[in-house]
Structure 1
């Protein structure tokens, strides 16, 4: 087994371990809705299905005095204390993270995406089409994840929400969300979807021979490849095997984005 195969196997083993660690989580509340797009409006999220709004996601299009501000804002529901989101504070503002699938949500995670005093977290903030630094949701974003925490009887419970954001944050689309009602129990972002992803990635094969590369698995996958400057070099619809030429590509690390129906995974490969 070569070094690259070892690295892939190591990742897949870690992914399987994450799934195994979460297999004891029972009674998860997974909610799949028709894709709901919001333009210049508000989406009210009832994460745990108790009819109480836990968070609002607000889209502002061409707002501000000059009509040149577009933003996406995350707020806790009315009169709800302790509802938080993954993120970080920077320059006196709080920015909501775009969580990676597999991120573990627990009491020690960085739930600083919402300002405790102002009760708002910035997902995207653009002026004249230019995003402020730390705007993790300025778009385009496909299958981004919010990591969320709410309080139930003064105990922490965790969940996630999956959404897309259009280019320049001109709209957002809510896809689905999930909630673990077990109090003070860790939860994994995209837990239900990781099971599907793991089955596909477990049999993923990447082989290089000179200027040829083969990427294959047992199920059809979409494939996109980027260099480290973000230039897209390859983009193909789902199929079980991708055969491509790397002739003319620069040497160094490249990113393979493997895409399923509801998930994606980035894998780094070295082009010699």
Structure 2
């Protein structure tokens, strides 16, 4: 028998910045699904109608060695996720923070039978087409729903256990301005659960100078407050110097990442 799991949701009031950007962050109670044939329903765009269902199948099949995590639209006419057909099936893309979710993205993450594969394993061996393989860190699903005959773009953040026998859903977000794009993870980086920036930063007349917040930080992303990705780079040296002319003005969100965590800093650029 199916067991329906509802996440308690509320809209987190972050700051006036989120209002200006028309992005809405939704903090879900972290929900880990571990039981075969269990699922969680998610209302990404907060219109009181559930949009997507994520379902876990574990230790199933004739052999009992099949593990499968899928996503399906509750309203099959209006719900789509980013991904593409690979081989005979449709697979959900694993997005990283800053990945643009827009009309021109590939929206074939679910098949005509109305489900998309997030993770599929037989006897602990991955389907080679699944993007949700090691490293088993958090990722984002890009979503598209319809409201008043217009498109609403959003994302869902989740992670999959290394053995593929459970998954955890953390939160979601959406762009409340209809037919407008959003970056994966936008505003999630403002939530207090993430590590505070412990590196240094300084503004000169011509450059933004950043010092690594952690010795293991390996990548850098800089976004403006509208969620547009301005710069993305590997981070090899202790510090990095970025010309200010590449960054415009206003508030920046700077994100450093490694496999163990993320470090976030807001930096105001004033002309």
* TM-score tier after normalising by the smaller chain length: 0.5 to 0.7
Q: 2:54 — aligned with what?
A: 57
Deviates more, 1:139-148 or 1:175-184: 139-148
Matches within 5 A, 1:89-168: 89-115=85-111, 117-138=112-133, 141-168=136-163
When residues 222 and 178 of structure 1 are mapped into structure 2, their CA distance, relative to the original with a 3 A threshold, is: farther
Deviation at 1:202, TM superposition (A): 8.8
When residues 94 and 58 of structure 1 are mapped into structure 2, their CA distance, relative to the original with a 3 A threshold, is: same
Provide the TM-score with structure 1 as the length reference: 0.64
* 2:258 aligned counterpart, secondary structure: strand
Instruction: Write the distance in 2 (CA, Å) between the matches of 1:94 and 1:165.
Output: 18
* 1:67 aligned counterpart, secondary structure: coil
Richer in helix (by share)? 1
Matches within 5 A, 1:1-272: 25-26=21-22, 28-39=23-34, 40=36, 41-77=38-74, 79-115=75-111, 117-138=112-133, 141-194=136-189, 200=197, 203=200, 216-217=211-212, 221=214, 223=216, 258=258
Contact residue 139 and residue 165 of structure 1 kept, 8 A = no
Q: Which runs of no fewer than 5 residues in structure 2 stay unpaired? A: 1-17, 203-209, 219-237, 239-255, 265-271
Instruction: Write the distance in 1 (CA, Å) between the matches of 2:171 and 2:262.
Output: 10
Deviation at 1:23, TM superposition (A): 8.9
Instruction: Write the distance in 1 (CA, Å) between the matches of 2:70 and 2:20.
Output: 34
Contact residue 140 and residue 169 of structure 1 kept, 8 A = no
The RMSD of aligned alpha carbons is 3.3
Instruction: List, as ranges, runs of 4+ consecutive aligned residues in structure 1 with deviation greater than 6 Å.
Output: none
Q: 2:230 — aligned with what?
A: none
Deviation at 1:258, TM superposition (A): 3.2
Q: Deviations over 1:141-192 (max 9, x none)?
A: 2221111111112211111111111012111011111111211011111111
Provide the TM-score with structure 2 as the length reference: 0.64
When residues 181 and 36 of structure 1 are mapped into structure 2, their CA distance, relative to the original with a 3 A threshold, is: same
Instruction: Write the distance in 2 (CA, Å) between the matches of 1:23 and 1:102.
Output: 19
Q: Which runs of no fewer than 5 residues in structure 1 stay unpaired? A: 1-21, 206-214, 226-241, 243-255, 265-272
Q: Report how many residues are paired.
A: 200
Instruction: Write the distance in 2 (CA, Å) between the matches of 1:222 and 1:177.
Output: 30
Contact residue 197 and residue 263 of structure 2 kept, 8 A = no
